[in-house]
Amino acid sequence: MKRICIPIIEKTMEKALEAIGEAKGAADLIELRMDYVREPRLAGLLSGGWKPFIVTNRRKEEGGRYQGHEKKRLAILEEAIKLGADYVDVEIRTEKSLLKGLMANRKGTQIVLSFHDFKETPSQKELREIFNQMNRLGADVVKIVTFAKSWEDNLNVLSLIPYVRKRKQEVVAFCMGEKGKASRILAPLMGAVWTYASLNKDRISAPGQLTAKEMKEIWERLR
């Protein structure tokens, strides 16, 4: 069962390859954040084949660093599909024609359709509608990540997991922020296919992210 995905957020190819080597012992999946790498050579990063890879090129509006043209941003995800990446993660707010084009040409790569809200957690009704929209588009995995302003926000997002699973859909769902840490821990125990954790405290890619070591220690205690 997939549990921990470690994002690689290095700025150079050399450091990214080193980080992949470090992550292989702790991760079930590795996310390549191409929006961080200055001169990315995707084939070189995927060639190690240590773990299943998720390729992401996150735009600034959704917590990433990419600020260029949308066609160029998606070209990296298209390249990932051609190179046989296990997953690509693309935002549901991507321009519809580009999004549908990517999904129509996915080949053997699974599409993670993602939604991020860095300000708050929408209502359960809104969260379900976001999922339904993703489902209609034909996502292989739906990823819904929101910001927890209260402890109750964790419950709103975690309750989405059984709702999605009943519809035979794989899901990643949790909250960001200090108050969202509980959902990061509990999501895989409730049926989410994975959660995200960093290599160490200096490599956190989103607010409230725990390290892989911390996550495993907590799961061990819960057992």
In 57-93, DSSP assigns E strands to 87-91
The fold of 4-222 is TIM Barrel (3.20.20)
> Residue with structure tokens 């989410």?
192
Q: What does DSSP assign to residue 142?
A: E
Partners of residue 110 on adjacent β-strands: 87
Residue-level pLDDT at 1: 60
Residues whose CB falls within 8 Å of the CB of residue 221, separated by 6 or more in sequence, listed in order? none
Cα 189 versus chain centre, distance: 17
Partners of residue 8 on adjacent β-strands: 32
Closest CA relative to residue 92, chosen from 163, 30, 168, 143: 143
Residue-level pLDDT at 194: 97
Token couple for 215:
């996550």
Burial of residue 49 (CB within 10 Å: 0-12, 13-18, 19+) is exposed
In the chain (223 residues long), the average pLDDT of successive 10-residue segments reads 89 94 93 93 86 94 90 96 97 95 95 97 97 96 97 97 96 97 96 95 83 94 89
Token couple for 89:
């993660």
| Long-range CB pairs of 200-205, under 8 A, 24+ apart, other chains included | 203/7, 203/9, 203/19, 205/7, 205/9, 205/33
Residue-level pLDDT at 200: 83
> Residue with structure tokens 């290599």?
199
What does the buried/exposed string (b/e) look like for 165-204 if buried means 16 or more CB atoms within 10 Å of the residue's CB? eeeeebbbbbbbbebbbbbbbbbbebebbbbbbbbeeebb
- What is the reported pTM? 0.94
Known catalytic residues are: 116, 143
Amino acid at 216: K
What does the buried/exposed string (b/e) look like for 149-159 if buried means 16 or more CB atoms within 10 Å of the residue's CB? eeeebbbbbbe
